[in-house]
A = this chain, B = another copy of it.
Amino acid sequence: MSTDIPRVQLLLTGDELMSGDTVDSNSAMIARELAGLGLTPCRRVTLGDDRGALAQEIEALCANADVLIINGGLGPTIDDLTAAVLAEVAGSGLCEHPDALSHLKQWCDKRRLVLNAANRKQAMLPNGCTLIPNPVGSAVGFSLLLNNCLVLCTPGVPGELRAMLPIILERLRARFGITLQKDVLRLQTFGLGESTAQQLVMDNHPDWPGEVILSFRAGAPQLEIKLSVRRVEDIPLRDRCREWLDTLFGDHIIGEGDTRIAEAVINLARESGVTISCAESCTGGMIASMLTQIAGASDVFPGGFVTYSNSLKQSVLGVQATTLESQGAVSEATVKEMVIGALDASGADLAVAVSGIAGPDGGSDGKPVGTVWLAWGDRQNVDTVCLCWPVERVLFQTMVAAAALDVLRRRLAGIDKQSSYFDQRRLR
């Protein structure tokens, strides 16, 4: 056991990584988790499913690292070679691991599948290795020592890797006596661009303390803001920085950790005893889908309406034919009538409606591709806005669905301020 910072290398395997069919997001996931222990991989090698090359590489990597994390090659097919190659390099041979077999049997039973030869191959592991349980998938991970290098083998399926990483971190912490921690506070926001957010912080807080590392991760539709400190004694400083962020763009902050915007909406609605519905044209079901991906959505969401055609906007939501004829389907009058229709047809207390032009076709000079009208409110008070997101179809739908949820979130949270992204996105 050593208290020095261990030298970590990564080996990624898979023909799909070499052919360009798959973009490797796993090594970034591993690196972000290792950062929590204050570790950064110093080198990463990526190889196809080639037995000889893998064996040679593993030997070379182990000679030059304290930890080798291997990702991929644990699946049921013949091109999944990790266990066989490691058994060869370690000179240990393969054997059927009883705990791995029982995991596979349970996994198949739960899915009402019969354990076949391909599945059974996943229980053949190097003699003497230690299992790393896989809480979500069939492939078990395993670890072993090779020339005093701790080799940890993990599955290539991102969800399975994610589920296994806490166990791996715990083993690293134990083996290397790591007490150093990184304390990370993550904030989820909507409606802020990465560069805008960074500029705002720099302009308003030129004295930002060096002990509090500020970083951003742009996703669609959310932007994550991360505040990290390396020492427990810097946590109060971190909390002060968080207050600065609250002041700068508090109305954009959805929540901490992994909070999704739909989750925030559902929680706020539940707290206020309010039910919600939606009437969707251009988002085509995505608002409803984002809501119902959250467990417990049924507490506040009786349902929604995907009225893609004008005819359904009339028959289901009671939009007037004259409105559609005179103003068009993408208009303030139409989305207002859609909100009222959704409230009436669902019996919900609060509803949002969207109608826009997702593209690639269907735009015009006055209403280019990316134009969208949103309306939201209750029976007394309906607000509207016209925005423009001239981006690729599915990204447009994603951003508009999130914006529709965000206007509900603001209404439920009692935020009167119109979102600043309205200004940037307003159709001029």
Contacts and interface: CB of A to CB of B under 8 A. Distances in A.
Contact of A43 (B53, B76, B111): B53
A295 interface: yes
Contacts of A289: 283-286, 288-289, 397
A194 interface: yes
A75 B285 contact: no
Contacts of A346: 312
Interface stretch (A264-272, A297-305, A375-383): A297-305
Contacts of A119: 195
B15 A20 contact: no
Nearest to A226: B21
B424 A113 contact: yes
A20 B42 contact: no
Contacts of A33: 20
B295 A361 contact: yes
A308 interface: yes
Contacts of A306: 285, 288, 292, 303-306
A194 B75 contact: yes
Given A293-B393, A309-B298, A20 B30 contact: yes
A336 to B, nearest CB: 19
A327 interface: no
Among A159, A285, A428, residue most surrounded by chain B Cβ atoms (within 10 Å): A285
A288 B284 contact: yes
Contacts of A284: 288-289, 291-293, 297
A207 B24 CA distance: 33
A1 interface: no
Interface string A34-64: 1100001111111110100100010000000
A53 B46 contact: no
Contact of A47 (B23, B43, B394): B43
A43 B44 contact: no
A396 B187 CA distance: 28
Given A301-B308, A308-B297, A28 B22 contact: yes
* Size band of the interface chain A makes with B: 35 or more
Interface string A135-156: 0100000000000000000000
A25 interface: yes
Interface string A159-182: 100000000000000000000000
A188 interface: no
A23 B18 contact: no
Interface string A255-294: 0000000000000000000000000101111111101110
B41 A43 contact: no
A216 interface: yes
A390 B311 contact: no
A79 B292 contact: no
Interface string A92-112: 000000000000000000111
Contacts of A360: 295
A308 to B, nearest CB: 4
A420 interface: no
A356 to B, nearest CB: 12
Interface string A66-108: 0000000001111100000000000000000000000000000
A294 B79 CA distance: 34
Contacts of A304: 285, 306, 308
Given A112-B388, A285-B287, A289-B289, 5 more contacts: A15-B215, A20-B29, A27-B46, A40-B48, A303-B308
17 contacts: A17-B44, A20-B27, A21-B226, A43-B47, A76-B195, A77-B195, A111-B390, A118-B195, A284-B288, A285-B289, A286-B289, A295-B360, A295-B393, A303-B307, A303-B312, A304-B306, A315-B345
